[in-house]
Amino acid sequence: QVRLVESGGGLVQAGGSLKLSCVASGRTFSSLFMGWFRKPPGKDLEFIGVIGGRGQSTSVADSVKGRFTISRDNAKNTSYLQMNYLKPEDTAYYYCVADINPHPRDQEAEYEYWGQGTQVTVSS
Protein backbone atom coordinates (compact mmCIF):
# COMPACT_ATOMS: atom_id res chain seq x y z
CA GLN A 1 0.00 0.00 0.00
CA VAL A 2 2.97 2.30 0.63
CA ARG A 3 5.56 2.93 -2.04
CA LEU A 4 9.00 4.23 -1.09
CA VAL A 5 11.53 5.59 -3.57
CA GLU A 6 15.08 6.45 -2.52
CA SER A 7 17.44 8.77 -4.34
CA GLY A 8 20.73 10.54 -3.76
CA GLY A 9 23.15 7.63 -3.61
CA GLY A 10 26.45 7.65 -5.42
CA LEU A 11 30.21 7.92 -5.06
CA VAL A 12 31.86 10.14 -2.50
CA GLN A 13 35.34 10.48 -1.02
CA ALA A 14 36.04 9.73 2.62
CA GLY A 15 35.29 12.76 4.75
CA GLY A 16 32.65 13.98 2.35
CA SER A 17 28.89 14.29 2.67
CA LEU A 18 25.86 12.85 0.94
CA LYS A 19 22.12 13.34 1.44
CA LEU A 20 19.63 10.60 0.67
CA SER A 21 15.94 11.27 0.07
CA CYS A 22 12.94 8.96 0.33
CA VAL A 23 9.59 9.92 -1.17
CA ALA A 24 6.57 8.02 0.14
CA SER A 25 3.14 7.55 -1.39
CA GLY A 26 0.04 5.48 -0.73
CA ARG A 27 -1.11 6.72 2.67
CA THR A 28 -0.92 9.68 5.00
CA PHE A 29 2.78 10.34 5.37
CA SER A 30 2.54 11.78 8.88
CA SER A 31 1.14 8.46 10.13
CA LEU A 32 4.38 6.65 9.29
CA PHE A 33 7.62 6.18 11.15
CA MET A 34 10.35 6.57 8.55
CA GLY A 35 13.65 4.77 8.94
CA TRP A 36 16.86 3.80 7.23
CA PHE A 37 18.81 0.54 7.06
CA ARG A 38 21.96 -0.35 5.18
CA LYS A 39 23.53 -3.55 3.86
CA PRO A 40 27.32 -3.47 3.49
CA PRO A 41 28.69 -5.97 0.95
CA GLY A 42 29.08 -9.39 2.57
CA LYS A 43 27.71 -8.17 5.91
CA ASP A 44 24.42 -8.19 7.78
CA LEU A 45 21.68 -5.63 7.43
CA GLU A 46 22.27 -2.76 9.85
CA PHE A 47 19.81 -0.34 11.42
CA ILE A 48 20.73 3.30 10.93
CA GLY A 49 17.90 5.28 12.49
CA VAL A 50 14.24 6.21 12.54
CA ILE A 51 12.01 9.26 12.97
CA GLY A 52 8.38 9.42 14.07
CA GLY A 53 5.51 10.74 12.02
CA ARG A 54 5.69 14.23 13.49
CA GLY A 55 9.44 14.24 14.02
CA GLN A 56 9.19 12.62 17.42
CA SER A 57 11.12 9.56 18.65
CA THR A 58 14.19 10.28 16.53
CA SER A 59 16.98 7.79 17.09
CA VAL A 60 20.28 7.03 15.38
CA ALA A 61 22.51 3.99 15.79
CA ASP A 62 25.69 4.43 17.80
CA SER A 63 27.82 3.53 14.78
CA VAL A 64 26.73 6.68 12.93
CA LYS A 65 25.74 8.99 15.78
CA GLY A 66 27.27 12.42 15.38
CA ARG A 67 27.73 11.93 11.64
CA PHE A 68 24.30 10.96 10.29
CA THR A 69 21.04 12.85 10.82
CA ILE A 70 17.50 11.73 10.01
CA SER A 71 14.83 14.31 9.22
CA ARG A 72 11.55 14.61 7.37
CA ASP A 73 9.45 17.14 5.50
CA ASN A 74 5.81 16.09 5.71
CA ALA A 75 4.73 18.74 3.21
CA LYS A 76 6.85 16.88 0.64
CA ASN A 77 6.14 13.32 1.87
CA THR A 78 9.89 12.93 2.13
CA SER A 79 12.38 11.65 4.68
CA TYR A 80 16.09 12.36 4.55
CA LEU A 81 19.34 10.82 5.66
CA GLN A 82 22.11 13.41 5.87
CA MET A 83 25.49 11.67 5.99
CA ASN A 84 28.57 13.66 6.95
CA TYR A 85 32.21 12.72 7.54
CA LEU A 86 31.72 9.57 5.52
CA LYS A 87 34.05 6.61 6.00
CA PRO A 88 34.85 3.70 3.67
CA GLU A 89 32.97 1.39 6.07
CA ASP A 90 29.81 3.38 5.30
CA THR A 91 29.84 1.82 1.83
CA ALA A 92 26.57 -0.10 1.56
CA TYR A 93 23.21 -0.40 -0.09
CA TYR A 94 20.89 1.97 1.78
CA TYR A 95 17.18 1.26 2.23
CA CYS A 96 14.35 3.57 3.18
CA VAL A 97 11.75 1.85 5.37
CA ALA A 98 8.37 2.74 6.87
CA ASP A 99 5.85 1.41 9.35
CA ILE A 100 2.93 2.68 11.42
CA ASN A 101 4.53 1.81 14.76
CA PRO A 102 7.72 -0.25 14.64
CA HIS A 103 8.71 -1.76 17.99
CA PRO A 104 11.52 -2.38 18.66
CA ARG A 105 12.63 0.41 16.37
CA ASP A 106 15.86 -1.25 15.23
CA GLN A 107 14.46 -4.55 13.94
CA GLU A 108 13.99 -5.01 10.20
CA ALA A 109 11.01 -7.31 10.75
CA GLU A 110 9.11 -4.40 12.31
CA TYR A 111 9.04 -2.41 9.07
CA GLU A 112 6.36 -3.38 6.59
CA TYR A 113 7.40 -1.12 3.72
CA TRP A 114 10.79 -1.02 2.01
CA GLY A 115 12.20 1.01 -0.82
CA GLN A 116 14.32 -0.40 -3.64
CA GLY A 117 17.52 0.88 -2.09
CA THR A 118 20.32 3.08 -3.34
CA GLN A 119 24.06 2.42 -3.46
CA VAL A 120 26.47 4.56 -1.47
CA THR A 121 30.17 4.04 -2.11
CA VAL A 122 32.83 5.85 -0.08
CA SER A 123 36.36 5.83 -1.45
CA SER A 124 39.43 6.07 0.77
Instruction: Measure the CA–CA gap between 40 and 46, rounded to whole angstroms.
Output: 8
Q: What is the DSSP letter of 32?
A: S
Distance, C-alpha 98 to centroid of its chain = 10
Instruction: Measure the CA–CA gap between 82 and 69, rounded to whole angstroms.
Output: 5
pLDDT digits (tens, 9 = 90+) for 38-54: 999 999 999 999 999 99
Instruction: Measure the CA–CA gap between 60 and 54, rounded to whole angstroms.
Output: 16
Instruction: Measure the CA–CA gap between 88 and 99, rounded to whole angstroms.
Output: 30
pLDDT digits (tens, 9 = 90+) for 55-84: 988 999 999 999 999 999 999 999 999 999
Q: What is the pLDDT of residue 30?
A: 92
Q: What is the pLDDT of residue 26?
A: 85
> For strand 113-114 and strand 92-99, is the pairing parallel, antiparallel, or unpaired?
antiparallel
Instruction: Measure the CA–CA gap between 124 and 42, rounded to whole angstroms.
Output: 19
Question: Contact 52/35 with Cβ under 8 angstroms?
Answer: no
